[in-house]
């Protein structure tokens, strides 16, 4: 039972264009969502997050949108740069109880930005 899904295994975009990575979740108890970026042979690094009380959070070139009714979030990268090429993981957490602080990850999307 996969509670966080990234249905696109890969995405290829041209430098300067927008990259949109998508993530769906099924657990309605999730109330905090994060995006991580992972380069080969390195651990994931935190990129941006959003609380369920918001529908948008922006940090420089990165914006995360949350649609609670659709249980969907997306990460927009504008403009995309070749250095953004990496695997992007969506993660979610539920506040309270034994789930507090634990993250559930999606399978990741490989983003390739071509010069």
Partner 1 sequence: EADIYQTPRYLVIGTGKKITLECSQTMGHDKMYWYQQDPGMELHLIHYSYGVNSTEKGDLSSESTVSRIRTEHFPLTLESARPSHTSQYLCASSDRLLSYEQYFGPGTRLTVT
CA 78/CA 106 separation, integer angstroms: 22
Q: Which two tokens stand for residue 27?
A: 């657990």
Cβ 79 to partner 1 shortest distance, Å: 26
Cβ 73 to partner 1 shortest distance, Å: 14
On whether the CB atoms of residues 115 and 13 are closer than 8 A, the answer is no
Question: Between residues 34 and 77, which has the closer beta carbon with respect to partner 1?
Answer: 34
Residues of this chain that bind partner 1 (CB under 8 A): 2, 4, 9, 32, 34, 36, 41-46, 49, 89, 93, 100-108
CA R_g for the chain? 14
Question: Between residues 41 and 53, which has the closer beta carbon with respect to partner 1?
Answer: 41
Q: Is 8 helix (H, G, I), strand (E, B) or coil?
A: coil
């Amino acid at each position: 039972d996969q509670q966080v899904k990234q249905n696109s295994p890969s995405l290829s975009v041209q430098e300067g264009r927008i990259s949109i990575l998508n993530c769906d979740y099924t657990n309605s108890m999730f109330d905090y969502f994060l995006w991580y970026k992972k380069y080969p042979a390195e651990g994931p690094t935190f990129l941006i997050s959003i609380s369920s009380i918001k529908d948008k959070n922006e940090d420089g070139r990165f914006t995360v949108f949350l649609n609670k009714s659709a249980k969907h979030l997306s990460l927009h990268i504008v403009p995309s740069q070749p250095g953004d090429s990496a695997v992007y993981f969506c993660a979610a957490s539920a506040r309270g109880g034994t789930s507090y602080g634990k993250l559930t990850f999606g399978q990741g999307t490989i983003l390739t930005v071509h010069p």
